[in-house]
């Protein structure tokens, strides 16, 4: 294979009459690329990977330098036979799979599967392009190269590590929980993040606090008013200290004091604030914004983006690729795209809107990093031109990408800001308002948080102005826990912690959803009972696999392999022995633990056997051990030894339709009592209402009561 990876590329510029074969990944690209290259080029598709590790066994020779044993993927035989026929007719073969590690590995596997390294009469080249346009494809032919084995080795290492984790750990889950479950290097770390967040939320104890606003008149005018917000106290030395009132009694005392106090303006500050234009999209930020603005799942975003990248049919124009490559963590923009965006913005919006650096002539060497940000391939193709040409879902995502890219090349938005401080006795109030004075990039792209605010502060307001108190408004609040992850916030957290890469975010979330380890309700992600069991087992037996720092460090090592600074076999040599030892210990330890198929006192009414506890997609259920002869099954209600505070019947562990755990009454649907946290046997001594267990604390379910106390040892243990 070395010959194929080291051939020189000068021949790409000569012998134009030779027959050329271009092999891409997706059939959707074939038609788009074929029209760019002319009759001397045949274009075909590998339809993804053609070789992989075998499904029936580990496929890695751990006794002989961890050599992977690749085989032809089942069902790809006819495709490879067709490719070999096309290779025979060609003089020059260009491997044009996707421009990332996975694409590099597919090209490497094609060389082996088609035996291209054995054909001395063939010229074999690797080409990449970040956008499927005529210029990009033509340019890639001029810059044809050999296979980058550093990228291939990084992909091989990821594949082997994931195979080792999946094939060594998953059978333990099958034996102890249920068949069909899986463990994964990245998915287990993501599941741990969701489980940890839910534990934080369950243990969170809200604290009461209050806000106080004062409505004031300026110059005794009922029409010219100003609302200010309580900030804190002013000390004897005149310095302000932020303070948050904690009770209604405290607030009422403040209101009584303020009713007699004079209000005056102690300070007015005016300034200008700028809001920088956003960066163009990466895979992560595209997934996050598509979730927030379009309510797309990560999987839907990537599916539609793939269509826009490969090319869509546009009436009157044929197949057109609309965006650049969709798997990237770079915000770099090519010289050509910078020039075209500058010309577009100057013509469409004017010089004031174009970023300063874009007004200057750009020269010098081109930036050499492989990927660009996600952007439109043709900035002049406005979304409005595609309104009736492509499906609505594609149009909405293209519009989001187009607007974000155009905005990224524009000047910041500017705001006039006025900040006012008002003093009354020892209380300090503040008001801050802003007015948009130059919209800049917001003429194209604006988030909900960036809506324009009107400046209603009176021009007659001056320092030392006397104000008249019209009214005060106090509001009770309770501190809130961190919100449940959404797909968007989970992707952001995975990116921040270095877990996974652009190509893995969506598949990771899709996998743990498909396995029913988590469920999605109103965009929020919740761990299911099945997910809790799997996460607890992984955390107990394989702490390093679910440790986010370990997973992030492994991603850094994969990056090092891709850069050529780390030897790929060394990473595997260091990883596997520890995994093997952990698996052996887990197998021994878990022999003592029964997680599923626990026998109960419940008698099967059909055959008389004692029914057992099993795990399904939505948690525990009772099943007859005589399956398949007896297929009796029914819900399993785990009683918690606490009476329902509404009707006195037993409280049990229940599941939502999507598998999220809660505590409800056996009398349902007649009694609708429910709680997300485990109810305590003790009633609240302050109000007589029900209490729940949060960590080592009992908390009243009524936030307005707010009573809490240490949990008794028995309930804390539960």
**Mean pLDDT along residues 71-86:** 96
Comparing 296 with 602, the larger pLDDT belongs to 296
Report how far residue 198's alpha carbon sits from residue 481's, in angstroms, rounded to the nearest whole number: 10
Domains delineated in the chain? 2-147 (3.40.50.140), 160-204+484-590 (1.10.460.10), 208-277+413-478 (2.70.20.10), 283-408 (1.10.290.10), 598-717 (no CATH)
pLDDT, position 695: 80
Give the tens place of pLDDT for each residue, 325-376. 999 999 999 999 999 999 999 999 999 999 976 544 333 333 334 589 999 9
* Alpha-carbon gap, residue 702 to 405, rounded angstroms: 48
- Which has the minimum average pLDDT: 92-101, 149-158, 298-307, 596-605? 596-605
Q: pLDDT: is 601 or 455 the higher one? A: 601
Alpha carbon 464 to its chain centroid, in Å, reads 51
Residue 260 burial (CB count, 10 A)? 9
> Given CA atoms 289, 295, 297, 303 in this order, what sign does their dihedral have?
negative
d(CA 179, CA 197): 27
Q: Residue 196 is inside which H or E element, if any? A: helix 185-203
In terms of Cα–Cα distance, which of 492, 500, 491, 494 is closest to 555? 500
Q: Which has the minimum average pLDDT: 222-226, 308-312, 468-472?
A: 222-226
Residue 453 has pLDDT above 90, yes or no: no
Provide the mean pLDDT of the chain.
88
pLDDT for 654-665, tens place per residue?
888 777 889 999
Let me know: does 413 contact 275? Beta carbons within 8 Å: yes
- CA torsion sign for 546, 552, 555, 556 is negative
pLDDT score recorded for residue 12: 45
Q: In the prediction, which pLDDT does 495 show?
A: 94
Q: How far is it, in rounded angstroms, from Cα 559 to Cα 158?
A: 10
Q: Indicate if the pLDDT at residue 21 is higher than 90.
A: yes
DSSP labels, 168-182: HHHHHHHHHT-TT--
* Cα-only R_g, the chain: 32
The sign one gets for the Cα dihedral 507, 509, 514, 520 is negative
The per-type count for the chain, helices as H runs and strands as E runs, is 20, 31
- Segment (H or E) for 268: strand 263-275
For residues 457 and 295, is the Cβ–Cβ distance under 8 A?
no
Q: In which element (H, E) is residue 563 found?
A: helix 548-563
CA dihedral of residues 51, 57, 62, 65 (deg, nearest 10): -10
pLDDT at 451: 55
Which residue has tokens 């546009």? 314
**Confidence bin at 446 (pLDDT 50/70/90):** confident
- Which pLDDT tens digit goes with each residue over 630-644? 989 988 888 888 999
Q: What are phi and psi of 21, to 5 degrees?
A: -120, 125
Per-residue pLDDT of 673-689, as tens digits, reads 999 999 999 999 999 99
Here the tokens at position 270 are 């005016």
Measured distance CA(308)–CA(377) in Å, rounded: 10
Burial label for 153, CB within 10 Å (0-12, 13-18, 19+), is buried
Query: What are the structure tokens assigned to 438, written together?
Result: 């130059």
Q: Could you give the CA distance from residue 718 to residue 640 in angstroms, rounded to a whole number?
A: 9
Q: Please compute the mean of the pLDDT values over residues 37-53 and round it to a whole number.
A: 94
CA distances from 128 to 476, 561, 585, 612 (A): 59, 20, 46, 57
Q: Do you know the residue count of the chain?
A: 718
Q: What is the pLDDT of residue 3?
A: 40
CB 678 within 8 A of CB 662: no
> Mean pLDDT over residues 127-132, rounded?
95
Nearest C-alpha neighbor of 80 from the set 43, 123, 111, 59: 111
CB 264 within 8 A of CB 422: yes
DSSP secondary structure letter of residue 374: B
Q: pLDDT, tens digit, for every residue of 60-71?
A: 999 999 999 999
Mean pLDDT computed over 24-53: 93
Q: What percent of the chain has pLDDT over 90?
A: 67
The catalytic residue positions are: 325
Q: Which of 171-175, 187-191, 520-524, 613-617 tops mean pLDDT?
A: 187-191
* Sheet of 650-655, strand order: 638-643, 650-655, 661-665, 674-675
Q: What is the pLDDT of residue 421?
A: 94
378-417 tens-digit pLDDT: 999 999 999 989 999 999 999 999 999 999 999 999 999 9
* Distance (Å, whole) CA 716 – CA 485: 26
pLDDT of residue 244: 94
| CA pseudo-torsion sign 624, 628, 629, 631 | positive
Lowest mean pLDDT among 337-351, 447-461, 704-718: 447-461
CA dihedral 170, 171, 177, 180 (to 10 degrees): 70
Task: Give me the pLDDT at residue 70, please.
Answer: 97
619 sits in the region (left: phi over 0; alpha: psi -120 to 50; else beta) called: left
Task: Supply the pLDDT for residue 449.
Answer: 65
Say how far apart CA 343 and CA 406 lie, in whole Å: 11
> pLDDT tens across 534-584, in order?
999 899 889 989 999 999 999 999 999 999 999 999 999 999 999 999 899
Check whether 595 has a pLDDT greater than 60. Answer: no
Which helix (H) or strand (E) is 336 found in, with range? Answer: helix 335-348
Better-scored residue on pLDDT, 517 or 705: 517
pLDDT of the residue at 365: 32
pLDDT band at 715, cuts 50/70/90?
low
What pLDDT score was predicted for residue 221? Answer: 64
The predicted model scores a pTM of 0.84
Residue of 299 and 620 predicted with greater confidence:
299
Contact between 599 and 612 under an 8 Å Cβ cutoff? The reply is yes
């Amino acid at each position: 294979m070395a010959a194929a990876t080291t051939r020189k590329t000068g021949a790409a510029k000569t012998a134009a009459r030779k027959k050329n074969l271009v092999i891409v990944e997706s059939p959707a690209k074939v038609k788009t690329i074929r029209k760019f290259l002319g009759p001397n080029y045949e274009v075909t598709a590998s339809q993804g990977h053609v070789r992989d590790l075998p499904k029936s066994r580990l496929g890695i020779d751990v006794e002989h330098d961890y050599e992977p044993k690749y085989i032809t993927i089942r069902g790809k035989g006819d495709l490879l036979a067709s490719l070999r026929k096309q290779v025979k007719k060609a003089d020059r073969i260009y491997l044009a799979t996707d421009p990332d590690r996975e694409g590099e590995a597919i090209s490497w596997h094609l060389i082996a599967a088609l035996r291209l390294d054995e054909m001395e009469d063939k010229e074999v080249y690797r080409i990449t392009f970040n956008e499927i346009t005529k210029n990009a494809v033509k340019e890639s032919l001029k810059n044809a190269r050999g296979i980058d084995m550093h990228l291939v080795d990084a992909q091989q290492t990821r594949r082997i590590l994931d195979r080792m984790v999946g094939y060594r750990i998953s059978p333990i889950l099958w034996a102890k929980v249920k068949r069909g479950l899986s463990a994964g290097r990245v998915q287990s770390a993501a599941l741990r993040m969701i489980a940890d967040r839910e534990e934080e939320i369950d243990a969170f104890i809200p604290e009461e606090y209050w806000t106080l606003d004062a409505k004031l008149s300026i110059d005794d005018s009922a029409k010219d008013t100003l609302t200010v917000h309580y900030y804190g106290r002013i000390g004897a030395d005149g310095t302000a200290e932020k303070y948050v009132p904690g009770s209604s009694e405290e607030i009422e005392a403040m209101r009584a004091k303020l009713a007699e106090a004079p209000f005056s303006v102690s300070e007015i500050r005016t300034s200008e604030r700028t809001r920088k234009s956003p960066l163009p999209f990466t895979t992560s930020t595209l997934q996050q914004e598509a979730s927030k603005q379009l309510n797309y799942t990560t999987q839907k975003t990537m599916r539609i983006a793939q269509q826009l990248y490969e090319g869509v049919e546009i009436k009157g124009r044929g197949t057109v690729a609309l965006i650049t490559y969709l798997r990237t963590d770079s915000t770099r923009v090519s010289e050509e795209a910078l020039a075209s965006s500058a010309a577009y913005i100057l013509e469409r919006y004017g010089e004031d809107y174009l970023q300063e650096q874009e007004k200057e002539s750009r020269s010098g060497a081109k930036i050499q990093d492989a990927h660009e940000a996600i952007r439109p391939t043709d900035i002049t193709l406005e979304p409005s031109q595609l309104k009736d040409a492509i499906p609505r879902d594609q149009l909405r995502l293209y519009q989001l990408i187009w607007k974000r890219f155009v905005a990224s090349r524009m000047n910041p938005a500017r705001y006039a800001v006025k900040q006012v401080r008002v003093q009354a006795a020892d209380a300090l109030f503040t008001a801050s308002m802003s007015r948009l004075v130059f919209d800049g990039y917001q003429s194209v792209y604006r988030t909900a948080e960036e809506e324009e605010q009107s400046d209603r502060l009176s021009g007659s307001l001056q320092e030392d102005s006397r104000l008249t108190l019209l009214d005060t408004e106090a509001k009770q609040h309770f501190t809130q826990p961190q919100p449940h992850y959404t797909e968007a916030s989970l992707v952001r957290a995975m990116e921040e912690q270095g877990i996974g890469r652009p190509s893995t975010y969506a598949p990771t979330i899709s996998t743990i959803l498909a396995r029913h380890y988590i469920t999605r309700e109103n965009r929020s992600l919740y761990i299911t009972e099945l997910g809790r069991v799997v996460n607890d087992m992984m955390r107990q037996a394989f702490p390093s696999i679910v440790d986010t720092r370990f997973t992030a460090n492994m991603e850094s090592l994969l990056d090092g392999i891709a850069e050529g600074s780390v030897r790929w076999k060394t990473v595997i040599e260091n990883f596997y022995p520890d995994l093997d030892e952990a698996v052996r210990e887990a197998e021994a330890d878990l022999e003592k633990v029964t997680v599923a198929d626990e026998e109960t006192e419940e008698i099967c009414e059909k055959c008389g056997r004692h029914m057992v506890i099993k795990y399904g997609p939505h948690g525990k259920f009772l099943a007859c051990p005589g399956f398949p002869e007896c297929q009796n099954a029914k819900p399993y209600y785990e009683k918690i030894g606490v009476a329902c505070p509404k009707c006195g019947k037993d409280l049990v562990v229940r599941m939502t339709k999507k598998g999220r755990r809660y505590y409800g009454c056996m009398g349902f649907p007649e009694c609708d009592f429910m709680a997300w946290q485990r109810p305590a046997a003790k009633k609240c001594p302050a109000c007589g209402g029900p209490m729940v267990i949060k960590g080592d604390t009992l908390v009243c379910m009524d936030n307005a009561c707010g009573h809490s106390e240490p949990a008794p040892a028995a309930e804390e243990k539960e």
